Amino acid sequence: MGDFKVGGNWQAIQGNGFVADFAIDREQDNGFSILEAQASHSGGSVTGEGQGKVQGRDFHLRIGWDNGTAGVYNGTFGLDGSLTGVTFDELHPDNVTSWHSSRQFHTG
């Protein structure tokens, strides 16, 4: 079984009301997926880019936002391919909220 294919356009719907839009490129490397991402939130008024990885059922993505903050998205894939987790501001790690993906993912 390969990693979950998280490439393409999808959203992280956050528990604090924000929605992050991701455009992710995925490459396979030594048993896990390397991610390159373009992102926006707040209706596109804040943009950023970042890197991450998928390894097994674990997802990690760090986005450097152009407003000087950095968002870290950690998650786990459910049995149905849904992705849920927590996100926090790297500069203020106590600022944490939950999130879930706007779609389900498949392995390959």
What does 7-70 look like in DSSP terms, one character per residue? -EEEEEEETTS-EEEEEEEEEEETTEEEEEEEEEETTTTEEEEEEEEEETTEEEEEEEETTS-E
Instruction: List the domain range (segments joined by +) for residue 87.
Output: 8-101
pLDDT digits (tens, 9 = 90+) for 2-33: 689 999 999 999 999 999 999 999 887 777 88
Single pTM value for the model = 0.92
Residue 23 placed within a domain: yes
CATH number at residue 25: 2.40.128.120
Q: How many structural domains are present in the chain?
A: 1
Residue 3 placed within a domain: no
Residue 2 placed within a domain: no
Residue 83 placed within a domain: yes
Residue 58 placed within a domain: yes
Question: Residue 32: its pLDDT value, please?
Answer: 81
Question: Residue 28: its pLDDT value, please?
Answer: 79
Residue 46 placed within a domain: yes
pLDDT digits (tens, 9 = 90+) for 48-84: 999 999 999 999 999 999 999 999 999 999 999 999 9
Question: Residue 47: its pLDDT value, please?
Answer: 96
